[in-house]
């Protein structure tokens, strides 16, 4: 696919309604988990984005049938699955490739897994995955690939050394195929983890404690087929709240999954951005205080991310851009990824007043009048944050490396243009880097 740039005219007021796509981080493990069953599975509301397309290619390479019946409806029939070594180039494109470990162990008893890819946002350890799979009866060997085998998976009492989302998902998938009962403690409980659990139950699994940090999986049941609808992406909802705030627009976010938005809404309220719940929809009014709320005694407040149900790490980049358009000072504390804050230098170049204290903390003082610039998309969420900055900046900005944004946001230019934005999609005509050098963010 040709490299693409966005040419963004800033300063426009938006209006209208937008509906979030299906949750990318739910769709990835659910597509992987579909390999557990030899019966047809139909998945609805699947986001048609690059990460999903890559995983679909990977499961096809293993012998599974996967066909798009409609734009966002995917039919998977894993009647036969080969435990072949996964394609290294495809695996390197997405972190979600590691989710095939649990399903292939459960279905085939072994898997050879190249190192997973994904966003470059600091070290992202995979130890928790293998420690959990070991307790379920697997053994592994690390060379330039992960070679994992399990003659028979057996239920166990498993304590995760960190509440990793993907490790929880891998362990839950493997435990569904294991003989006996597994208790998974210190488990992640994000909405996408819950969605995977509901999908496994629809296949015939029995899982207790969904939505909590302790899951009990009664494994070994015969699994069938099902039709399952992926829930709305709460990270995309957070992105649209930020979009409305920085462009001073009123937007209605339809079918927003409001039951999963408590911590997100609290974070934006601290920035002086309030939303209104109307049934299944969320309305972001144009008329906002945009006044950062000080802590008691007038102290500088902090917005920090933490595991669910606290403020989501993937909304932090959006919240930083939003804070640049609000009056006051706030400390943004990114606790979970050591390199995610580094994109703020691009905002500083656009006129934002930000002090990067260390890899995890930044002080934002607003409001700042941002000016247009040529910037990169270093990862999915920072790329979306830079798009928001360009939409509220004076002048016309160029955003490079748009493929990063499109790994997580479906047809984002079309959808925002329908609200009144001006985002032109053009072929990237920059010179290719000389041998041994790479453009930033690639």
List alpha helices for 40-126, DSSP H: 50-61, 88-91, 100-108
Tokens at residue 418, please? Answer: 């329908």
Strands 328-333 and 353-358, by their bridges, are unpaired
What does the alpha-carbon distance between residue 160 and residue 351 come to, in Å, rounded to a whole number?
43
**Neighbouring-strand partners of residue 18:** 253
Contact 186, 159 (CB under 8 A): yes
Number of alpha carbons in the 13 Å side-chain half-sphere of residue 381: 28
Distances (CA, A) of 64 to 61, 220, 363, 397: 7, 21, 49, 43
SS3 of 401, please? coil
Which has the closest alpha carbon to 250: 281, 209, 291?
A: 281
Distances (CA, A) of 211 to 38, 114, 124, 176, 262: 27, 31, 24, 17, 14
Number of alpha carbons in the 13 Å side-chain half-sphere of residue 405: 26
314 is catalytic: no
State the maximum Cα–Cα separation within the chain, in Å, rounded to a whole number.
64
**Neighbouring-strand partners of residue 216:** 183, 208
Choosing from 119, 233, 314, 413, the catalytic residue is 119
What does the alpha-carbon distance between residue 286 and residue 71 come to, in Å, rounded to a whole number?
32
Residue 232 φ/ψ, nearest 5 degrees: -70, 150
> Which residues belong to the active site?
119
């Amino acid at each position: 696919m040709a490299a693409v740039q966005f040419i963004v005219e800033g300063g426009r007021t938006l209006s209208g309604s937008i509906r979030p796509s299906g949750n990318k981080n739910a769709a990835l493990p659910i597509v992987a988990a579909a390999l557990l069953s030899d019966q047809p599975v139909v998945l609805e509301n699947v986001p048609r984005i690059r990460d999903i397309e890559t995983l679909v290619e990977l499961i096809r390479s293993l012998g599974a049938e996967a066909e798009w019946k409609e734009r966002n409806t995917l039919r998977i029939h894993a009647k036969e699955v080969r435990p072949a070594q996964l394609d290294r180039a495809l695996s390197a494109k997405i972190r979600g490739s590691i989710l095939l470990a649990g399903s292939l162990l459960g279905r085939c008893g072994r898997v050879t897994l190249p190192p997973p890819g994904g966003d470059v946002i600091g070290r992202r350890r995979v130890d928790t995955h293998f420690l959990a799979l070991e307790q379920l009866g697997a053994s592994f060997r690390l060379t330039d690939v992960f070679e994992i085998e399990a003659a028979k998976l057996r239920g166990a009492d498993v304590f995760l050394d960190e509440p990793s989302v993907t490790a929880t998902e891998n362990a839950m998938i493997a435990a569904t195929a294991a003989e006996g009962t597994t208790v998974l403690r210190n488990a992640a409980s994000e909405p996408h983890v819950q969605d995977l659990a509901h999908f496994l139950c629809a296949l015939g699994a029995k899982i207790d404690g969904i939505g909590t940090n302790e899951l009990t999986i009664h494994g070994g049941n015969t699994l069938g087929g099902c039709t399952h609808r992926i829930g709305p992406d709460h990270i995309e909802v957070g992105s649209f709240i930020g979009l409305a705030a920085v462009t001073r627009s009123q937007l209605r976010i339809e079918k927003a999954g409001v039951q999963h938005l408590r911590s997100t809404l609290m974070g934006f309220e601290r920035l002086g951005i309030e939303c209104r719940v109307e049934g299944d929809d969320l309305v972001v009014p144009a008329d906002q205080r945009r006044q950062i709320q000080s802590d008691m005694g007038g102290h500088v407040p902090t917005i920090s991310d933490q595991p669910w149900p606290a403020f989501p790490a993937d909304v932090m980049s959006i919240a930083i851009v939003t804070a640049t358009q609000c009056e006051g000072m706030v400390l943004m504390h990114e606790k979970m990824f050591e390199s995610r804050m580094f994109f703020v230098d691009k905002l500083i170049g656009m006129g934002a007043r930000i002090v990067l204290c260390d890899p995890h903390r930044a002080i934002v003082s607003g409001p700042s009048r941002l000016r247009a610039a040529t910037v990169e998309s270093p990862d999915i969420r920072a790329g979306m944050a830079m798009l928001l900055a360009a939409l509220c900046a004076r002048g016309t900005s160029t955003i490079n490396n748009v493929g990063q944004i499109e790994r997580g946001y479906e047809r984002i230019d079309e959808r925002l243009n329908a609200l009144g934005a001006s985002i032109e999609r053009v072929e990237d005509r920059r010179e290719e880097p000389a041998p041994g050098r790479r453009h930033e963010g690639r």
